Amino acid sequence: MKRSHLLLAGSLITVGVMVGSSLPGTVIAGQAGVAEKGVESRNEKWAEKFPNQFKTWMQTSENDTITDMLEKKPQLAVLWAGYGFAKDYNAPRGHFYAVQSNINSLRTGAPVGPATGPMPTACWTCKSPDVPRLIEEQGELEYFTGKWAKYGNEMANAIGCADCHSSQTAELTISRPYLERGLEAIGVDTKNIDSESMRSLACAQCHSEYYFKATEWTDKKGEKKVAKVVTLPWDNGLTAEDMEKYYDELGFKDWTHKISKAPMLKAQHPGYEIFSTGIHAKSGVSCADCHMPSTTEGDETFSDHHIASPMENIETVCLGCHDQEAEELKAVIETKFERKEQLMEIAMDSIAKAHLEAGKAWEIGATETEMKEILTDIRHAQWKWDYAIASHGSFFHAPEETLRLLAVANETAQTARLKLVQVLAKHGAVDFIAPDFSDKTKAQALAQVPLAKLVEEKENFRATLLKEWEKQATAKGLLDPATRKGMSDKTSYMK
């Protein structure tokens, strides 16, 4: 947070008490870390030296709630038909559960050995400090080569200290090389990042849009391999339109939609990007100002590492900068949320219907030429909706941008639907009405998701290979089973 911005900020802000600014990187600069070399991925190894940070970091285990978003918003299963997210998608939980959520998700499938399963290694990238450890030990391209199951016995620790801090100096660091490349693409000198920027960039390592870029390489033994490298599509800039252009020019698609056959993009939480367009970012406020406020216990002041929703903590988080009642601010947040919900529902409905109407058009003989523009509209509509929504918290971080994108998404989907009316009429289905997708069962049936089979396979995997992974990780000294004692193990599918 830059002081000069705040001084200009007017009556909303009381300048006297400012969270965040009293805790720059200097607090720990020069202070030795926890290892002489390498990446110390075991969070508990940091506890002795940094007890307050460890204790509050552990509190991210408090939010273990599974909110099945497909049940809450069944349109999602139609929007993602043919893609993993139509199988299983839950709202985010505390960082403590990142590895477990990833393993339990039906999206990661049920591998039976290191070279099987639907997902690449890249799927671990935002879950564990074992990722920077492996990148350092094996090289980035080797890390990004192979199937997700290749590293099942290596990913033992959930998002923690070494994701954000250097194991040698304990200073904030960028542990993911792809973020450095993304920043360089937008002209940031990554050798000279100031400590204030790091208070957001630490989060941007994971709360950003990315795709898997297929990259050919040759290993030391001369073997040719293809890595799926996490890549930030930032070359043209950070807005939804900038990234859409990037993907369009590349001819990239994440998948072909099962119903409409549209070449789809999946937005992966561009949280940092959309936050950057909002008033807080423009005023120099960083992610850590609100999600890791400064706290004092006894005579010790430190950053609260219990990263969570600030909603229950408005006094500490917001009132350092805002001269308002907590209740008033809470109501402001709630209103912003409701406005987003309303436009989001409309956009999701329009896009889901567009997919189903396009499906019908194909069924009754529509041609590629008739469908081409329509499918591009659907692709663009869904991308903008997803960019706005997958960035959790965007309704607060950047409310205007969120509502703008939802409005554009709806308009683009409706344009596709108008064109579809003509195509449907031409092929004799002028009265077609999209089928009902008002609950998860109906929506997943339309998306042709074989849920019972997926769950059965997953349960098998959890009872067999997963147990092996845990044993192996423990034997290697990567996993201390005591750290998972009493840990809940909830999923959307085990009732």
Residues in the chain: 495
Name the minimum Å distance from CB 134 to ligand HEC.
13
307 binding ligand HEC? (CB under 6 A): yes
Among 81, 119, 203, 381, binds ligand HEC (CB under 6 A): 203
389 binding ligand HEC? (CB under 6 A): no
In angstroms, the Cα distances linking 219 to 52, 139, 154, 212, 227 are 43, 10, 21, 19, 11
**Cα-flanking dihedrals φ and ψ of residue 443, to 5°?**
-65, -40
DSSP state of 398: S
Among 70, 179, 232, 288, binds ligand HEC (CB under 6 A): 288
Name the minimum Å distance from CB 174 to ligand HEC.
10
- What the block records as the tokens of 443 is 């929506």
Among 75, 205, 277, 492, binds ligand HEC (CB under 6 A): 205
Name the minimum Å distance from CB 231 to ligand HEC.
16
257 binding ligand HEC? (CB under 6 A): no
User: Closest CB to ligand HEC among 29 and 433?
Assistant: 29
Give the start-end residues of each E strand in 28-145.
none
Name the minimum Å distance from CB 12 to ligand HEC.
5
Residue numbers 39-78 binding ligand HEC by CB under 6 A:
43, 46, 50, 53-54, 57, 63
Contacts of 5 (CB under 8 A, 6+ apart): 283, 284
95 binding ligand HEC? (CB under 6 A): yes
Contacts of 131 (CB under 8 A, 6+ apart): 124, 125, 143, 155, 163, 175, 176
231 binding ligand HEC? (CB under 6 A): no
**Cα-flanking dihedrals φ and ψ of residue 436, to 5°?**
-70, 130
Residue numbers 107-146 binding ligand HEC by CB under 6 A:
126-127
How far apart (Å, rounded) are the C-alpha atoms in residues 469 and 156? 9
Residue numbers 390-449 binding ligand HEC by CB under 6 A:
392-393, 396-397, 399
Residue numbers 328-357 binding ligand HEC by CB under 6 A:
329, 332-333
Total residues contacting ligand HEC (rule CB under 6 A)? 81
Residue numbers 2-21 binding ligand HEC by CB under 6 A:
6, 9-10, 12-13, 19-20
Name the minimum Å distance from CB 169 to ligand HEC.
11
Helix, strand, or coil (residue 19):
coil
How far apart (Å, rounded) are the C-alpha atoms in residues 107 and 104? 8
Helices and strands: H and E segment counts in the chain: 22, 6
User: Closest CB to ligand HEC among 19 and 149?
Assistant: 19
Q: Is 170:29 a contact under the CB 8 Å cutoff?
A: no
